[in-house]
Structure 1
Amino acid sequence: MSDNTIIGASFEAAPLRSMLTVPAELAPAEDEIEQRLFKIRAADTAGRRSSANILINRRYAWRGYSTKPLPEEQSLDRITLVASDHAATIGTMSIGFDGASGLLVEQLFGAEVDALRRAGCRICEFTQLAMDNVPGSKRVLASLFHVAYIYAYRVKGFDSLLIEVNPRHVKYYERILGFKVLGPERMNPRVNAPAVLLSLDFRHTEKQIGRFGGNPQLSSTERSLYPYAFSIAEEAGIVGRLKSAGDAPRASS
Structure 2
Amino acid sequence: MYAWRGYGSDHVIPASPDHVTFNALFCCQAAGTITLAVDTHGRLAADTLFRDQLDIYRARKGARICELTKLAFDVPDSSKALLAALFHSVFIYGYRRYLCTDLFIEVNPRHRRFYQAMLGFETVGEIRHHHGVDAPAQLMHLPISAIRRAIDAMAHEESPHSVRSLYPFFFRPQEEDDIYIKLDRAELRLGAERTAAARHAPAPRLERGSAARLAALQRGVAERPSGG
Normalised by the length of structure 2, the TM-score is 0.76
Structure 1 residue identity aligned to 2:22: L
Distance 1:180 1:110 in 2: 17
Distance 1:202 1:247 in 2: 25
- Alignment partner of 1:237 is 2:178: yes
CA shift in 2, pair 1:168/1:203, >3 Å: same
* Counterparts of residues 71-82 of structure 1 (less than 5 Å): 71=13, 74-82=15-23
Query: In structure 2, which of residues 64, 76, 99 is the aligned counterpart of residue 134 of structure 1?
Result: 76
* Counterparts of residues 59-78 of structure 1 (less than 5 Å): 59-71=1-13, 74-78=15-19
- The alignment-based identity, stated in percent, is 36
Residue aligned with 1:60, SS = coil
| 2:24 corresponding residue in structure 1 | 83
Deviation per residue, 1:73-96 (Å, 9 max, x gap): 842101111111354110000010
| 1:94 corresponding residue in structure 2 | 35
* Counterparts of residues 6-155 of structure 1 (less than 5 Å): 59-71=1-13, 74-100=15-41, 102-120=43-61, 121-134=63-76, 136-155=78-97
Deviation of the 1:210 alpha carbon? 0.7
Residue aligned with 1:187, SS = strand
Distance 1:90 1:126 in 2: 17
CA shift in 2, pair 1:190/1:234, >3 Å: farther
Deviation of the 1:127 alpha carbon? 0.3
Deviation per residue, 1:195-236 (Å, 9 max, x gap): 100000011110111111133x43233321001111112212
Contact 1:181–1:198 (Cα < 8 Å) also in 2: yes
Structure 2 residue identity aligned to 1:166: N
| 2:217 corresponding residue in structure 1 | none
| 2:140 corresponding residue in structure 1 | 198
Deviation of the 1:114 alpha carbon? 0.7
My pick for the range that moved more, 142-151 or 232-241, is: 232-241
What's the C-alpha RMSD, in Å, of the aligned pairs? 2.3
Normalised by the length of structure 1, the TM-score is 0.69
Contact 1:83–1:144 (Cα < 8 Å) also in 2: yes
* Richer in helix (by share): 2
Deviation of the 1:141 alpha carbon? 1.3
Residue aligned with 1:191, SS = coil
Deviation of the 1:65 alpha carbon? 1.7
- Alignment partner of 1:228 is 2:169: yes
Deviation per residue, 1:29-52 (Å, 9 max, x gap): xxxxxxxxxxxxxxxxxxxxxxxx
Deviation of the 1:69 alpha carbon? 3.5
| 2:108 corresponding residue in structure 1 | 166
Distance 1:131 1:99 in 2: 27
State which structure, 1 or 2, has the greater radius of gyration over its C-alpha atoms.
2
Q: Which runs of 5 or more structure 1 residues have no equivalent in the other structure?
A: 1-58
Higher relative contact order (CA 8 A, sep 6+): 1
Deviation per residue, 1:153-208 (Å, 9 max, x gap): 12320110010111111122111101011121111123221110000001111011
Deviation of the 1:118 alpha carbon? 0.7
Residue aligned with 1:210, SS = helix
Q: Which runs of 5 or more structure 2 residues have no equivalent in the other structure?
A: 195-228
Distance 2:131 2:163 in 1: 36
Distance 2:9 2:192 in 1: 23
